[in-house]
Amino acid sequence: MTLAKGLTGAHLPLGAVVLSAEIARRLESDMLYTGLTYCGHPLSCAAGVAAVEAYADERLIERSRDLGARMLERLKSLPARHAIVGDVRGGDGLFAVVELVRDRATRESPSVWPASHPALRRLVRDALHRDVSFAIRGNLILLAPPLVISENELDDGLTLLDELLAAVQF
């Protein structure tokens, strides 16, 4: 698995590759020539160590799991109120996807990938005017709030999304 941004809290460039123990053992005796200009840069590595320590000290991973479950539960209630919500996907943290469709039965997309329908772009613009940022890709709304988001901020953002979805017409 390759990792990046979160390793330094997105403050400095740093990436990593995580391997299984079996694959790592096979590579231990062979040089893997993959170095780049900033490979192992001391400042980035120090920031990476500090970020990982902060994640542990502030229990941000556990917090992400708890708030992510809360977020996913709220998002899973959206299809009952909005026929344009075709699917809600999420996992073990503060990341989820709301898929919008023109018709839930056929799962027809409101636009041809990777374009986003004007109504969805309006939703993003209207949210931004109310100080909430939603990312979109095609007909997907990507929710990835910061790990330090407060419960109230998360609830307010999800309430706003619910409100703005009511105005979307495809």
Sign of CA dihedral 115, 118, 149, 42: positive
**Does some domain include residue 170?**
no
Do 161 and 102 belong together in one domain?
yes
CATH of the domain at 112: 3.90.1150.10
**Does some domain include residue 100?**
yes
- State the residue range of the domain holding 126: 60-165
Do 73 and 135 belong together in one domain?
yes
The tens digit of pLDDT for each residue in 34-67 reads: 767 667 889 999 999 999 899 999 999 999 999 9
Question: What tokens were used for 143?
Answer: 């929710």
Query: For the chain, first and last CA: distance in Å?
Result: 38
Q: Comparing C-alpha atoms, which of 78, 98, 73 is closest to residue 151?
A: 73
The tens digit of pLDDT for each residue in 82-94 reads: 999 999 999 889 9
pTM, entire model: 0.82
